[in-house]
Amino acid sequence: MPVNISPLLPEHLLPVEGITLGIAEAGIKKPNRKDLLVMLLDEGTQVAGVFTQNRFCAAPVIVAKRHLMQSSTRALVVNTGNANAGTGEAGIQHAVATCAELARLVGCTAQQVLPFSTGVIMEPLPVDRIVAGLPAAVANCKADNWFSAAQAIMTTDIVPKAASRQVQIEGKTVTITGIAKGSGMIRPNMATMLGYVATDAVISQDSLQALVRSAADHSFNRITVDGDTSTNDAFIVLATGKAGHREITCQDSAEYGLLQAAVTTVAADLAKMIVRDGEGATKFITVQVDAGKDADECAKVAYAIAHSPLVKTAFFASDPNLGRILAAIGYAGVDDLDVSGIQLYLDDVLVAEQGGRALNYREEDGQRVMNQSEITVRVVLNRGSAATTVWTCDFSYDYVKINASYRS
């Protein structure tokens, strides 16, 4: 079961003026399952995004990036059950056909529709089922449909992931609501698996693009479940401009800072939910690296720990076999690292310093922390002032079972 995720209710999620959402059961992979989402955007909505850097990126990623450059966006369509990745030119044609049909239904151009897919890779997209399901999804569109939308984009997720927040900008209430999906194949390299955050803030396109990249770097780009970067990752931020404050155009302004902080908070909440719902996860682990020479070496150390199967299985077993963490630090790729200057903490317990076991470390103290469902690993490099934090989970038997039977 997910690690300490509070139950989500529809009333927890705030509508965003200018956006409606509709879902359908299209039978893409399995019958009687919400698997198709449509988001309709009022004219004038600004859209910005970041996408996977996996070179085998999926057809919908190629088409969505192309459409974002060609035209304003009026609709998004998301299907689960099939990734439409590794499908060649036919996959691109299927993504375009999906956009064209939704455009016909809602009265816009195909270039104003962004497609997204998630599911099994290298299987042909059942575009006929998606096209057949689109009318029902469009008819279902309403402003307060965020909870159902979060359910409609789930794959191996156990729980839907969504969050809302409000902030005051120039005396106006600005709403931010977001949804995300992800549970396995999680090691984003730009964004997230699939994540959508909407706001009614008034912001220029250039400022929104800067905001989405910053939000991704402080949330989805700081999580890992299994070290695999998906072919379909996308993080999209939508700004309808309905809140009524003056347009945010300066990235140094206080108003930009307020909006950036609020959007990043929602994105970070969603990112942590993905880790807490990691496939088979039983523990939520924060890896914090402090006092590094620069952010790059801090990230190398953090991800070496967070990706290590030996470290992750030790956490699953609640086994304070903490030498595995030292080994991961050692192979992280910081070539001039002086290990005698490092300190390793497990929560508040000093485990290692001066190149070995801390003098006052006791196994029972390590065991006490390892028995918890939430643990912080803190590494102090003592080389500078840079720091970074990565969130991850353990590896359990269920991770293997889930992925061994993914296509069944």
The residue annotated as part of the active site, out of 52, 73, 192, 392, is: 192
C-alpha dihedral sign at 142, 208, 75, 54:
negative
- Give the pLDDT band (50/70/90) at residue 399: confident
Q: For residue 269, what is the enclosing H or E element?
A: helix 254-276
> Is 192 a residue of the active site?
yes
Check: CB of residue 16 under 8 Å from CB of residue 199: yes
Instruction: Give the tens place of pLDDT for each residue, 30-87.
Output: 999 999 999 999 999 999 999 887 788 899 999 999 999 999 999 999 999 999 999 9
Mean pLDDT (the chain) is 93
Taken in order of first residue, the domains within the chain and their CATH numbers are 10-276 (3.60.70.12), 284-404 (3.10.20.340)
The average pLDDT across 229-245 equals 88
- State how far the Cα of 4 lies from the Cα of 372, in Å rounded to an integer: 12
- State how far the Cα of 108 lies from the Cα of 166, in Å rounded to an integer: 31
DSSP code for 221: G
Reduced to 3 states (helix: H, G, I; strand: E, B; else coil), residue 93 is helix
Q: Going by C-beta distance under 8 Å and a sequence separation of 6 or more, which residues neighbour residue 174? A: 166, 167, 168, 199, 200, 201, 243, 245, 259, 262
CB atoms within 10 A of CB 175: 20
Give me the sheet containing 19-24, strands edge to edge.
19-24, 36-41, 75-82, 113-120
DSSP E strands in 55-151: the ranges are 75-82, 113-120
Q: What's the pLDDT score for residue 191?
A: 37
CB atoms within 10 A of CB 362: 10
- State how far the Cα of 313 lies from the Cα of 336, in Å rounded to an integer: 29
The predicted model scores a pTM of 0.92
